[in-house]
Structure 1
């Protein structure tokens, strides 16, 4: 890897760490850059997953204030993230490289629709529960657990736009602010990346130079993203999610 390629990977890591902390889809920045350096797709995917761990952890730390009072929720959903992340990592080495190409843009598009409609849908669901006298589940129930499990399978496989899917599911099924949900999203992403990376360390090829460069960049980007993301009002954050999601879909369809 040349000095210019190394610099490009480092800058891509900063960008990915920043955008992952705010919403997700940072892989769409780092993955093409890794491919441009000559890494094979699977090696690039594994190296990317390993390198983004510090960024996910950094972003979660940056959102530590929003995580207060959410320990039980994070622990419960963290189980789904861990199981799904491991399953996705296994699938990466078993399935063809193009296995998710068709379904991913559809999933992201659906997630964006849910993000846009989430305030109205949440209000409608709450009204219906009130009329029916039902008790609102503070942890999202089995539907959220199952949805995040499946989303984490995809996250362990590729990770692009996984944060958008997380936010859409939690926004629909949890009665909380978007910033607090974003904090939980960052922890879940860190769990998925870590579990997948531990698996890859023993069974897959990766490039240590790429891993270290992305790790350094994403760790710095995680702090930048936390500072920016925590200052965004709910509407602005929602708009940012949609813009990033649309760009992700266009990139995935190329």
Structure 2
């Protein structure tokens, strides 16, 4: 990796850390950049997952005020994220590399659709919510978080959008408090899958450390400033880099 490529990976880490803290989808920034500097897809994915763990910690700390009073919810949903993330990580290494190359463009495409439709989905959920939801989302949210964890452990782009959509549908709470929970759940998935990858996968530690350094900075930016960014502009950036990642994988 040349010095300029290293700077690019570091900058991508900053962007990913910022976006992950605000809404999710930061992997759509870092993953195509890691591909562009020559990492194979599976190595890029596992290195990216490990690199984003410190940024997830940084973002969760930045939202610590919104986490107050949510201990029981975090314990309940966090256990589902832990199990799902571990299963997703195992699937990444058990399934053939060719399967990853075939599946990931589809996953990225679905993630981009979620990013684009997220405002409409949020309005749709708000209009159709009836009655008093379970304080912790009940079994449907538990299963949904587990599924999001499997997805996050396998690849992870837009798992934050998916988690926010699930919680918005099944919880009665403010968006900021749900976003704080989302940051912790994403941290759990990244941490358990990253720990597994560190011992069992082809990690490029230079790339992982560069992403980690950038994502820590980005996590703080996302917690303090990112909420002021125009949502349309943020989604446009995510869609653009996602399309680059799809093209890079297919070509």
Pair in the same fold by TM > 0.5: yes
Query: Superposition pairs for residues 65-214 of structure 1, below 5 Å?
Result: 65-95=65-95, 96-97=99-100, 98-106=102-110, 109=113, 113=117, 115-126=119-130, 129=131, 135-214=132-211
Deviation at 1:208, TM superposition (A): 1.2
Task: Provide structure 2 residue ranges, at least 5 long, that are not aligned to the other structure.
Answer: none
Change (3 A) 1:216 1:192: same
Say which SS state the counterpart of residue 137 (structure 1) adopts. coil
Indicate if the aligned counterparts of 1:111 and 1:168 stay in contact, CA closer than 8 A.
Answer: no
Structure 1 position 252, deviation (Å): 5.8
Deviations 1:168-221 (A, max 9, x none): 111111111111111111001100000001111111111111111111110010
Match of residue 34 from structure 2: 34
Q: CA deviation at 1:147?
A: 0.9
TM-score between both structures, scaled by the size of structure 1: 0.87
Q: Which runs of 5+ in 1 are unaligned?
A: 130-134
User: Is 2:48 aligned against 1:48?
Assistant: yes
State how far apart, in whole Å, the 2-side matches of 1:160 and 1:103 are. 8
Q: For structure 1, which segment, 107-116 or 1-10, has the greater mean C-alpha deviation from structure 2 after superposition?
A: 107-116
Q: Provide the aligned length of Structure 1 versus Structure 2.
A: 243
**With structure 2 as the length reference, what TM-score do the two structures score?**
0.88
The reply on whether 1:4 has 2:4 as its aligned counterpart is yes
C-alpha separation in 1, matches of 2:124 and 2:35: 41
